[in-house]
A and B are shown apart, each in its own frame.
Chain A
Amino acid sequence: MTTTFAVDVRGLTKRFGTTRALDGLNLQVEAGTVAGFLGPNGSGKSTTIRILLGLLRADGGEATLLGGDPWRDAVQLHRRIAYVAGDVTLWPNLTGGQTIDILGSLRGDLDRDRVDDFLARFDLDPTKKARSYSKGNRQKVALVAAFASRAELLFLDEPTNGLDPLMEGVFTECVAEARAEGRSVLLSSHIFAEVEKLCDTVTIIRDGRTVESGTLKDLRHLKRSTVTVTLDSDPAALEAIDGVHDLIADGGHTSFTVDSVALPRVLTALAALGPRDLVSTPPSLEELFLRHYGVHAAADDHEVARP
């Protein structure tokens, strides 16, 4: 089976002075899927996206974007992509509507009907000058421009930063529609719920390196689930099973984590203990993520200078 990648990045490196911003990063976005891109501030998400946009030049590694070279073929590739930055800066004396038109014209696919449709959905007044827009409204300008385009690949860098919960809902719909139209999306985010809801695959990075990537299902499969049971008998026997960890017995309630491979053995043992109730929870994305970022690790990452 051959897969086509909208984005294929292998071993990407980038330095800013003495700071190593990217250190062998891998990232793949399959065509027609939504890929989540997770990592704290300063871990290299925006740098990666800027390299893919041809704004920065990689020092090493390979990057392929829609079959082309993101630096050499920038202008041609940019007709096929759209980008929403985390902090959108606009021309203060132009209106939102003018800005969307200008961005659409630059790409060459301005479609006013689509623009009007998305303006209505994001509830954005296009006659106001950008100067008077809040952060959320500036974000909406860039989102409307991106979704209304015919771009095959959308780069969304923390796009829901300034949006209220209602607008986050609209955003979620729009991403789902984009996928239904066969477009690919790279969504960098801090918000686990958003990524869990939207993304087919997830890449977690730390200090400019990929530490985890795959489908959410795969990632979960490799990790331990948390099991909580109510037992009449003594759970001590469980502790002996290979693959059971963190067992805590509190009266009738017992909880432990279990490697997925050990699950059949654990269930057999459990049945013998006469469980009255059983809940098994797969690891949340947040747990997967925090496994790579203890509180201390996260604090260190803030020290890494942004470009």
Chain B
Amino acid sequence: MIHMSEVSKVYENGSSALNNINIDIEKGEFVFLVGSSGAGKSTFIKMIFREVLPSKGQLIINGRNIMTMKEEEVPYLRRGLGIVFQDYRLLPDKNVYENVAFAMQVIEAPRREMQKRVNSVLELVGLRDKLKSLPSQLSGGEQQRVAIARAIVNSPMIVIADEPTGNLDPDTSWEIMKIFERINKSGTTIVMATHDKTIVDAMKKRVIAIEDGCIIRDEVKGAYGYED
């Protein structure tokens, strides 16, 4: 699914974000990405959906070679990925249904399929009864659930989440994690950057720790491993 070999990223201002990363993430894995702020987690995440292009090395996502990919192919790479952000990034003037349907609309999915699919993902995240609500009428947890529904509505192979529980209280965070776990059970690969020690320690998933642009730890049933 995700294959990185000898991947490095040096930004234009000369700062080195990642250094010689070698990693393989297989289909159906659930991977936590941990590390202090500025360690290179964000760069790692952004490289997967080609927001950031590696300076060096080999990077293959869903069988697509990122290094040789043309600009026009990027949208098709992203259709195979679902992205969830810490700040939800919902459209404030569209309701829950429209926010999720938007992701299918812009890739010109057939309308029939759209209705069915949007309803089923909203069911999955538990928001079937809030179709008509605007984001401003929802709690933070609910907004994040809409964002997750939007990320998975096009049935991506990989879901990438950058601090998805960063703005949420512990109880709500757990609800969100349960949704991710459900998505993962259906065979979707999940890569999540997080600072949430409790969650990482409790879930016993693969943990990749990054410090100063290098992978310092990669454990199959890992723990957070830091004292915050």
Is the A/B pair a real complex?
Answer: no
Q: Point out residues on A near B: beta carbons under 8 Å.
A: none
